[in-house]
Amino acid sequence: MNKNFIYYLPGAGGELRKGLGQALLERGYTVMGRETVGAFNRLSFGHQVKTVTKDLLADFWTPDAKVIATSFGAYLFLHAQLEMDPFPGRVLLLSPVMGSATHPITGARFYRPRADTLPEAGKTGSFPTPKSIEVHVGDQDWQAGPNTLIEFCKAAGVTLHTAQGRGHTLGVDYVTDVLNRWL
């Protein structure tokens, strides 16, 4: 795998060449992955996970591989990881959702497919933690299910960085600093 390739999974409704994907392209990286729109978005959740798993095993299964995923894209990656040995490359997850969350004030609720699977894998120690994984979440990010994410990361041995005063969107300044160091 060329060191300038990145497998990117954006959040719900995300495209590879917009937002963070565009920032990666501007840094000279070749961005591959799955947009969470169009035909891929119409697949069942199980088929989405299988597609990501196949992508990773076929084209990114090396110690030099880099995966970056945000929000729902991170959720897809974590579920794909459940179906594989620990990923051998480097993984950066930004604002990963964990399956279900409820807004503390409005009561708005997110409930993703297989919402209990990741927390359970963390609790039972059955999550195959990638060789190098780093997670960033805002301390005010109710969508990520922060308590569940904290518990999961602790149980799975995943490094979790909490961005003070940040919500689900960590902000260009924060993400730029993370990318400058991580890349």
Q: By the 8 A CB rule, do 78 and 122 touch?
A: no
Other Cβ atoms closer than 10 A to 160: 18
Phi, psi for residue 46 in degrees, rounded to 5 = -60, -40
- Smallest CA-to-CA distance from 21 within 59, 64, 62, 68 is with 68
Per-residue pLDDT of the chain (183 residues; tens, 9 = 90+): 567 999 999 999 999 999 999 999 999 999 999 999 999 999 999 999 999 999 999 999 999 999 999 999 999 999 999 999 999 999 999 999 886 666 667 776 665 767 678 888 988 999 999 999 999 999 988 777 777 888 899 999 998 999 999 999 999 999 999 999 999
What are the φ/ψ torsions at residue 91 (nearest 5 degrees)? -130, 135
- DSSP classification of residue 95: S
Side chain identity at residue 112, one-letter code: R
Residues 29/182, Cβ–Cβ less than 8 Å: no
pLDDT of residue 102: 65
Alpha-carbon Rg of the chain, whole angstroms? 15
